[in-house]
Structure 1
């Protein structure tokens, strides 16, 4: 409120009859609530330090998507096609046919065998007995293990090894195309079969680094490791960077708060309360049984940012009251009275907006929604209640009050210039610019893609160790790490029937001609190879036999994973060139088209899709379906809450329109930066809207207050800029500076989130300060606001 308004009504404002219930409750029992807050902080901090990482595979995939339901239903039959790692051992000084290299490869295979979490029965390397060679001779098939029991490292045995590898069909899969490296492949247990404990990916990744890479890379070999567990382990290691960036952000925020308030107490209290909010949030999460995954670990900083945003508003209000001569307690009470309604509205908008992420049926996003909402809920207590109670004891220092008084008495040149955004001549220009920006963002954002746009692990930088390892394996082997598995389901003992095999053969032919498919493998592949071998290697026999007995004979020794125990499931493995969104769209569309034409209920079904690429495809479809719906719900919830508070559609338009333009521009920026909509980027827009709405609510609340005092729109906006507007500008810049440090994170998705959040923090601030008053010039009618205020006062006087 204006100084004049305050001075004229001091007795009324501070009278017990006008104190709201919550103000009486908290400030008349300050010591009691401080003790309660202290007890809760100690208890929840103890709980917070015991929170554990949680990056289970099931959390990162859409379990209710048909693809994933099919995969989980047939998981036991998809042997060696689930979570696994691949270790490529390279000889940088030549090929693999040396005694020293082969001995090192044997030692690495043995070492991996004993690492907890490895499914030893499914391990494959040229040193394991389940990797065999087969050849056709005059006497029929002959074969044996690739490395025979007679191997002794001599030149003769190495030459025999070369022949065995060439006859084994492992070139391009377990042996590099240039024979300079070999792979050890190991499926993993999701849970320890003895203890039932979940596999700790970070610990498993450390075991690989310590017992494989660090131990053996000094023995004239280079080790390259890829797989879901290794990727998640590297991401979890990157969490330490998040802690460093959080400390940097806290330090930057504190310094800027000191410069802003010229008061140490006014700077340290909001930081302390916001940090307390983070510990409360983590403690509650631990009590509810949640852990931290690589995505939700970023949320505590957002909670800190939201807490600072509201804390600055309260400190600013207390400073204004103190500059007008109020004592510490009165200043805190009046600040609480002025701000708890808009603060509650803003935080409720944040929390419910975050809860709209529950619409996305992926556990990691749903847990992120719950995590963020809990954080917002605790801010209501730590920053809207605890902060003013603490300030009622410590107060604003004399230096802070003097600085504010000098600022109030000086000519606010910047605020005066910005107030022209509400001028009748400037406002139309601002709105035209806003429309142009919205149009540009909408047009450019049409090219926004769903899913990954880069090769390798998009969560990590291209030059990360993991992506360099992945690039090496992709460049030197024929079998891609991006695998999609189509499950062909039949009645028991019918997977090898000619009708089934013929349909699979047609399916493979179709898929091999789809752009993005490198190759395929199935029972049909094995059958054709065996049929050719049984007929002296004549390629004319490389086809399916219509004789069922010959078919059955040709798949007797099919590798594990190409059919299940009762021959009711025959997976078809598609090796893809990459897992980019466009590739997955082409492949799944072609597979679904084939399934629609060939599926026969109860007899033959082509079910999509397992494998890493199948999971990615399902995730992309869930995100694409939920993206627009989530945004609609976010804006609908925020709009409804604003309408309930301000009882004006015009007010809602003033607050929401700048947010909408920011969201559209954010999507355009994602296109420009080559960032797709994925698990880690989809929540950013909702989070940006949730935090950005705070600016608009505080600005509009203060603007309406000054209009009710009888000021014209531009004059009211000038007063708003000198108080709340100043705090909003400071908050936006401070939060942007804090989060922009994420751009230098070793984790790419954190870097992307930092970039996008910086943009949204700044543009939401700009929208609130620039476009909101321009919209108010055309949408808000000061005479009606004044009339309503007079009517309210008359009714209150009559009631008294």
Structure 2
């Protein structure tokens, strides 16, 4: 009896699909060859895409505010910091300053640089100011008549001391200087999103390789360089992919002892990946550092389903069935379980679109397209090829030997349909769930590590970032609050007073290093206008004095029509706890002080964008998990039984909770890199329960007892489930050695979920079947589908 009949279907679609595929198998095979060649060529045109706006939640209120005022906040968004340090002595020598100027000039002509906002001690906008008895005097830090002589170097040293740039553009120990390089979001020549891979390569070629030598060391940090390094490091995925192909093939050969069928599973999985990549290129969807891992997962899913189909074909072949009939029987028997499992996979992936971040949506699109290709290759190409090639004699003989006597693996696990073992499995599961629920309470949203958590602490980028943090006073983590006023209103006493209050409250908030605002600059100028007497440190009510006080404020602290004034809050780090504290404090302040004259808007700066991203993930993760478990509906429609849904879904939910506990235990925050793993793990893990339950149903409907039915289900599908879970766990577990930390984190979590989903399907599913069946003799009636 077919599984689909047991599920209450008329099964009319199966003969139609079966006859359509096998009656035209030559044409189908030819179509697959042509399509694979075409999509393979398109896959070669697939581009790596990693734009700045794809990484941020563009519809979040913070980002809407930032993008609305982006032109007025030039230099406070996406930027590079190029640190040039001397290996010996300090920066006050002619050779170093000449090299610094050359590097700045080189950066000026790199495509995508916001040239008007580049800052270094060579920039004409970086000036020193001094209060004298005659008033303010000042000039460029490096004057126009600088000639590299000892006297001019002394002048530079004096000017720098009066510029306020020590700790900002020059290191506290005077052994390095920084060039701040704001970037555009689009390439000016083409209007396309800035290509961070090309930009990173240009920075290496035209800056680091060209100017770094025995006397000069160059360090480069910033979102664009981080993304470029991620793309460069993620290319190692190809090595892992090739290694996985070898490992999977060897394990398939050990599992089936049939060379041709092992090659078939691997071939069809690779065809699915080629189709996926070709379709992505055809639809104009690129890969980014996060979605680059999706083809690997598609390969893993294809292998998982292929093993089930090949296992069924080998079983029929060992019973003397010819290769065409064996392929037809396997297609007919596994059509609905495979379709249900693939639909569940697809739902798990599609739910990622609820997270309003383009890079995560890209993962959803790529994975969904991959599942669609698997449905074609595994349900059409694999059985057609098998109908031509059949099973080798060695594979048949090995399977016959495995069928003789009671299989120890299946025999032991079948005990979990008995009261003693079932209660033990359920009790242990309840204890694990209790522990996981307690441990998961400490799971946080956002980054929990310093530096760039996407890379390992000893990576070149994080070492560069660490140098910057240790040698400069001004943090690279900047949270920007925008004070919005009517035109020409930023100099009003009301606006400056409220800015001053925000400045004070933020300066005294734990986790804040420093604050820069227009009110602070205005007060310093007022002191300077009064011979430097600190008793004048404050804001005047005289509009003329206030207007004069901001005339010397640095660029960027107010816009051209004086309707926007950013408050720059420099943070110790961008950890979730720090960002949450700042957001709460600013929100409380704005609730108390917003008025028609001045409104405080969040947020810009890299820390502000990070806070918005965390907020989106925090609110989306619950919705995503709820939607992920919409696979309940798929199982319900397929098996027409609430009992079936309980048996399949409860182990899956336990694994999700355990994965969250593991994340909290290992110090993984819920962020862009880790959140998709939960969805991907659920989508793939549900396959195990569906295949085992489908076989169990088939035997129960034939009138067998629960224990005998489960034993037969294990022999038919359980061995394949255990094999695929262990194989895939080994493959993704190898990611732990990747230089990309988020890839390593994903590998650990996916390996954990693969194994625990397998254990849940093999141990907890039969225990739940026993519990639901109670002491009734007719357990099958409890689990069978009612017509």
Q: What interval of TM-score do these two structures reach, taking the shorter chain for normalisation?
A: over 0.9
Q: Is the 8 A contact 1:529 1:542 kept in 2?
A: yes
Show the counterpart of 1:470: 465
Residue 127 of structure 1 pairs with residue 118 of structure 2: no
Show the counterpart of 2:645: 652
How far did 1:17 drift?
A: 9.6
**Partner secondary structure for residue 568 of structure 2:** strand
Q: Is the 8 A contact 1:189 1:199 kept in 2?
A: yes
1:617 alignment partner, one of 603, 611, 628? 611
2:102 alignment partner, one of 102, 107, 110? 107
Show the counterpart of 2:67: 72
**Match runs of 1:275-674 below 5 Å:** 275-601=270-596, 603-635=597-629, 637-674=630-667
Q: Is the 8 A contact 1:79 1:560 kept in 2?
A: no
Q: Is the 8 A contact 1:430 1:770 kept in 2?
A: yes
How far did 1:787 drift?
A: 9.8
Distance of 1:527 and 1:62 partners within structure 2? 35
How far did 1:790 drift?
A: 11
Q: 1:782 to 1:38 in 2, by over 3 A?
A: farther
**Match runs of 1:54-69 below 5 Å:** 54-69=49-64
Show the counterpart of 2:6: none
Q: Is the 8 A contact 2:640 2:786 kept in 1?
A: no
Show the counterpart of 2:159: 164
Residue 92 of structure 1 pairs with residue 119 of structure 2: no
RMSD value over aligned CA atoms? 1.7
How far did 1:763 drift?
A: 0.6
Distance of 2:13 and 2:599 partners within structure 1? 72
Q: 1:19 to 1:596 in 2, by over 3 A?
A: closer
**Partner secondary structure for residue 236 of structure 2:** helix
Q: 1:202 to 1:790 in 2, by over 3 A?
A: closer
How far did 1:229 drift?
A: 0.5
2:752 alignment partner, one of 759, 774, 796? 759
2:724 alignment partner, one of 719, 731, 737? 731
**Partner secondary structure for residue 48 of structure 2:** coil
Q: Is the 8 A contact 2:705 2:779 kept in 1?
A: no
Residue 749 of structure 1 pairs with residue 745 of structure 2: no
How far did 1:129 drift?
A: 1.5
Q: 1:165 to 1:352 in 2, by over 3 A?
A: same
Show the counterpart of 1:261: 256
Distance of 1:43 and 1:95 partners within structure 2? 60
Q: Is the 8 A contact 2:640 2:785 kept in 1?
A: no
Q: 1:46 to 1:140 in 2, by over 3 A?
A: same
**Partner secondary structure for residue 481 of structure 2:** strand
Q: 1:28 to 1:526 in 2, by over 3 A?
A: same
Show the counterpart of 2:769: 776
Q: Is the 8 A contact 2:14 2:335 kept in 1?
A: no
Distance of 2:744 and 2:97 partners within structure 1? 41
Moved more, 110-119 or 372-381: 110-119
Query: Across the two proteins, how many residue pairs are aligned to each other?
Result: 778
Q: Is the 8 A contact 1:310 1:384 kept in 2?
A: no
Q: Is the 8 A contact 1:713 1:782 kept in 2?
A: no
**Partner secondary structure for residue 425 of structure 1:** helix
Q: 1:369 to 1:788 in 2, by over 3 A?
A: closer
Q: Which runs of 5+ in 1 are unaligned?
A: 6-15, 793-800
TM-score in terms of structure 2 length: 0.97
How far did 1:507 drift?
A: 0.7
How far did 1:18 drift?
A: 10
Q: 1:19 to 1:696 in 2, by over 3 A?
A: closer
Distance of 1:371 and 1:776 partners within structure 2? 36
Q: Is the 8 A contact 2:81 2:181 kept in 1?
A: yes
1:196 alignment partner, one of 191, 194, 217? 191
Q: 1:790 to 1:312 in 2, by over 3 A?
A: closer
Distance of 2:89 and 2:785 partners within structure 1? 90
Distance of 1:53 and 1:787 partners within structure 2? 52
**Partner secondary structure for residue 141 of structure 1:** strand
**Match runs of 1:704-719 below 5 Å:** 704-719=697-712
2:680 alignment partner, one of 678, 687, 707? 687
